Amino acid sequence: MNSTAGAIAAIRKKSGDALCIMGHHYQNDTVIRHCDITGDSLELARRVPHISATRIVFCGVYFMGESATLLAGEGRTVHMPEPDADCLMSAMIPIRLARAVLEQLVRGGRRIVPLAYVNTSLAVKALTGEYGGAVCTSANAETMLDWALKRGEGVIFMPDKNLGHNVANRLGIPQDERHVLRIDGRGLIEPESQPLGRKILLWPGACSIHARFRPEFVEQARVEYPGCRVVAHPECRQEVIALCDAAGSTSFLIKEAARVAEDSPGSTLVIGTEENLVHRLAARHRDRCDIFPLSRAICPEMAKVTEEKLLAVLEDITGGRGEPLAVAGELFEPARLSLTRMLEVCGK
Ligand code: 13P
Ligand code: SF4
């Protein structure tokens, strides 16, 4: 153990039950080894309301810390080692534009239900709550899209068009019932020329890490590793997912690796998602099967969180200098509503 790790371990020991360190699976191993709770977006959100520690330190990107702040009980504060780590996709949906587009869509009286991926700002979650919608994660997007479709004449899925397409495919909603919105800095471009009457309206955002996987990569993997199984995260393009053997959230990919290791020793699994996770799974199951990344893919924002920054935030907290995440008062309730709707629909 290096001195940073030793210092973190000492603070954790001294803090006991008063401190809980949470980490998303995309964090690197030097951070993950200090976490009391690890998970994908859904698992972490589900755990937060039940945490009794008064200080929660969240290792992940900003929207995850914000969601934890919304869901943490009375008297709990959330701190982040690197509050500047910001999901690149959540930045693709500025609140001013999201509001302008939603207002344009409902102007004619059509009942549009917003469904916001958890990878969005607090303000977008609040807007979603205000318009009767809910949040979803990649693990429950099918259930939540089905929920939203039953409540309106159409759904606007924000901001990941790839996840939106993949979930619509799973629900059997045809391509001609979907439309990727054409938007400029002010709102919808020529709304009268866009097929806005379609069931699923997709915000034109994407995760630049997952969107870089291309169909040829899957074909190439099958040549390189004959007989391999290929699985990927649903933030990948639908053309990629169509060539994979299965797709699912981060927790699905983890379970899939464990299942392949158990059921098919000696086989090869290729995983299309963030590389930190793939390397961890490869190391975990190396005695049973081979696991390779579909391509290089490190999320630079997740990588901003380091063991040194984790130690620094812990020292600040124990020294009484720790600044918790603050959530703008007027956004708190509508944003929380959109998150709790998700937890209620999917079971807490
Ligand atoms: P999960 O919902 O699978 O945790 O994914 C979050 C994310 O940011 C994927 O890029
Ligand atoms: Fe955001 Fe993509 Fe990074 Fe996930 S991998 S946090 S979606 S930029």
Q: What percentage of residues in the chain have a pLDDT greater than 90? A: 93
Pocket mutation for ligand 1, best pick of 67, 88, 140, 235 (most atoms within 8 Å of C-beta): 235
From residue 306, alpha-carbon distances to 84, 212, 218, 339 in Å are 12, 25, 32, 28
Q: What is the pLDDT of residue 326?
A: 87
Q: Whose CA is nearest to atom 1 of ligand 2?
A: 87
Tell me whether domains 90-206 and 210-293 share a fold: yes
CATH topology of domain 90-206: Rossmann fold (3.40.50)
> Which tokens hold the place of 162?
């790839």
Residues with a CB atom less than 6 Å from ligand 1: 40-41, 119, 137-139, 207, 235, 249-250
Ligand nearest the Cα atom of residue 212? 2
Does residue 150 come out as left (phi exceeding 0), alpha (psi in the -120 to 50 range) or beta? alpha
Q: Domain limits of the chain?
A: 3-86+302-326, 90-206, 210-293
Residues with a CB atom less than 6 Å from ligand 2: 61, 87-89, 119, 207, 209, 235, 274, 299, 301-302
- Please identify, by atom number, the ligand 2 atom nearest to the C-alpha of residue 61: 6
Q: Whose CA is nearest to atom 7 of ligand 2?
A: 207
- Please identify, by atom number, the ligand 2 atom nearest to the C-alpha of residue 160: 7
From residue 6, alpha-carbon distances to 33, 249, 305 in Å are 12, 33, 18
DSSP state of 49: G
Q: What is the pLDDT of residue 117?
A: 96
47: pLDDT strictly greater than 90: yes
Distance from C-alpha of 81 to C-alpha of 65, rounded to nearest angstrom: 10
Q: Whose CA is nearest to atom 2 of ligand 2?
A: 207
Distance 250 CA to ligand 1 centre (A): 6
Average pLDDT of the chain is: 95
- Please identify, by atom number, the ligand 2 atom nearest to the C-alpha of residue 207: 2
- Please identify, by atom number, the ligand 1 atom nearest to the C-alpha of residue 25: 4
- Please identify, by atom number, the ligand 1 atom nearest to the C-alpha of residue 210: 10
Distance 294 CA to ligand 1 centre (A): 17
Would you give the distance in Å from CA 138 to the centre of its chain? Answer: 6
Q: Render pLDDT for 15-40 as a digit per residue (tens, 0 to 9).
A: 999 999 999 999 999 999 999 999 98
193: pLDDT strictly greater than 90: yes
Q: Whose CA is nearest to atom 3 of ligand 2?
A: 299
Q: What is the CATH number of domain 3-86+302-326?
A: 3.40.50.10800
Q: What is the pLDDT of residue 348?
A: 63
CATH topology of domain 210-293: Rossmann fold (3.40.50)
Best CA proximity match to 233, nearest among 258, 262, 211: 211
pTM: 0.94
- Please identify, by atom number, the ligand 1 atom nearest to the C-alpha of residue 39: 4
Q: Render pLDDT for 104-126 as a digit per residue (tens, 0 to 9).
A: 999 989 999 999 999 999 999 99
